[in-house]
């Protein structure tokens, strides 16, 4: 019997926004593996299946079990929030397989099912903050030294990138976002728009629109399910939305088309 391993993105967390393919492969699978919170997101799709739930810090064990189960002939779906290739389980699965000499052409069949990543879903909720180049940085320094993360933040700030921040805070992760804010304020105005999106597209969804100056006032909204979007020098707020100009204004005389009475001086 030939097994298969699907690495499934179930993001953003609401069935209406989950991809058709993600639902399809979960239906095809006889075994579901994942971090408990992510498994709960698809609880109504996995009735009658064998389910293996894991705690947050058991990624390596999760990867080995998925591979072993698939090699034994099971059709396995490893569920991951958002997109499994963006801070998800796809990398660890491929690393583990590569260490064992796996050959994609004739070895265990593996398929990554892309999902809607946090940066996509969160951006859609708060307007159009990612219309120009942006950078994505995780504040988690469990796998990447904090000094390296600081350098990446500094480079993104110097380059005037919109910054998307994953894992902004946790019970043990306190100074990271504070340090990031200090770096950003070296290059950006205190009034730079900031959006905090918590549990996007889930029942507990919470949105806070603020700015760099007042970001510390919303520490209670920062956690592992939060994503922070910090605008660049062009980003502006409009009725609780973040807008990042795409550049069409100058190219197509957007003001004149919107308001014919407006004359360009």
**pTM for this model (two decimals):** 0.90
Q: Are residues 136 and 91 in the same domain?
A: no
Which domain does 69 fall in, by range?
4-116
Q: Are residues 134 and 232 in the same domain?
A: yes
* The predicted structure's pLDDT at residue 233: 96
Cα–Cα distance, 57 to 63 (Å, whole number): 12
**Across 84-91, average pLDDT:** 94
Q: Are residues 158 and 238 in the same domain?
A: yes
Instruction: Answer whether residue 264 shows pLDDT above 50.
Output: no
Q: Are residues 61 and 170 in the same domain?
A: no
* pLDDT tens digits for range 178-205: 999 999 999 999 999 999 999 999 889 9
Q: What percent of the chain has pLDDT over 70?
A: 93
Instruction: Answer whether residue 111 shows pLDDT above 50.
Output: yes
Q: Are residues 159 and 206 in the same domain?
A: yes
Q: Are residues 211 and 134 in the same domain?
A: yes
Furthest C-alpha separation in the chain: 74
Tell me whether residue 160 is in a domain. Answer: yes
Number of domains the chain contains: 2
pLDDT grade, residue 257 (50/70/90)? low
Q: Are residues 91 and 180 in the same domain?
A: no
Location of structure tokens 């950003």: 184
- Helices 59-71 and 90-99 cross at an angle (nearest 10°) of 60
Instruction: Please state, in angstroms and as integers, the Cα–Cα distance from residue 103 to each residue in 64, 92, 107, 110, following that order.
Output: 17, 16, 5, 11
Q: What percent of the chain has pLDDT over 90?
A: 79
Q: Are residues 129 and 236 in the same domain?
A: yes
Q: Are residues 106 and 146 in the same domain?
A: no
Instruction: Answer whether residue 121 shows pLDDT above 80.
Output: yes
Q: Are residues 138 and 177 in the same domain?
A: yes
Identify whether the C-beta of residue 70 lies closer than 8 Å to the C-beta of residue 102.
no
* The predicted structure's pLDDT at residue 129: 98
Q: Which CATH number characterizes residue 241's domain? A: 3.30.950.10
Q: Which CATH number characterizes residue 58's domain? A: 3.40.1010.10
* The predicted structure's pLDDT at residue 171: 84
Instruction: Answer whether residue 247 shows pLDDT above 80.
Output: no
Q: Are residues 179 and 105 in the same domain?
A: no
Q: Are residues 242 and 124 in the same domain?
A: yes
Q: HSE-up of 214 (CA within 13 Å, CB side)?
A: 10
Cα–Cα distance, 261 to 59 (Å, whole number): 60
Instruction: Answer whether residue 260 shows pLDDT above 70.
Output: no
Identify whether the C-beta of residue 153 lies closer than 8 Å to the C-beta of residue 137.
yes
Instruction: Answer whether residue 116 shows pLDDT above 70.
Output: yes
Pairing of strands 162-166, 226-230: antiparallel
């Amino acid at each position: 019997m030939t097994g298969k391993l699907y690495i499934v993105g179930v993001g953003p967390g609401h069935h209406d926004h989950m991809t058709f393919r993600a639902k399809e492969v979960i239906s095809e699978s006889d075994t579901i593996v994942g971090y408990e919170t992510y498994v709960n997101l698809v609880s109504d799709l996995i009735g009658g299946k064998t389910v293996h739930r894991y705690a947050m810090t058991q990624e390596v064990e999760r990867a080995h079990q998925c591979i072993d189960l698939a090699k034994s002939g099971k059709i396995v779906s490893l569920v991951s929030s958002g997109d499994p290739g963006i801070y998800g389980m796809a990398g660890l699965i491929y690393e583990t397989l590569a260490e064992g000499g796996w050959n994609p052409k004739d070895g265990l069949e593996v398929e990554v099912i892309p999902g809607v990543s946090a940066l996509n879903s969160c951006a859609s909720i708060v307007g159009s903050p990612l219309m120009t180049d942006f950078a994505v940085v995780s504040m988690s320094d469990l796998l990447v030294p904090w000094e390296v993360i600081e350098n990446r933040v500094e480079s993104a700030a110097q380059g005037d990138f919109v910054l998307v921040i994953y894992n902004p805070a946790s019970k043990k992760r306190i100074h990271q976002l504070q340090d990031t804010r200090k770096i950003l304020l070296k290059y950006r105005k205190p009034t730079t728009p900031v959006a905090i999106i918590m549990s996007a597209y889930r029942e507990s969804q919470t949105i806070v629109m603020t700015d760099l100056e007042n970001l510390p006032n919303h520490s209670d909204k920062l956690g592992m399910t939060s994503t922070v979007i910090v605008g660049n020098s062009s980003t502006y707020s409009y009725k609780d939305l973040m807008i990042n100009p795409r550049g069409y204004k100058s190219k197509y005389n957007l003001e004149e088309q919107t308001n014919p009475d407006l004359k360009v001086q």
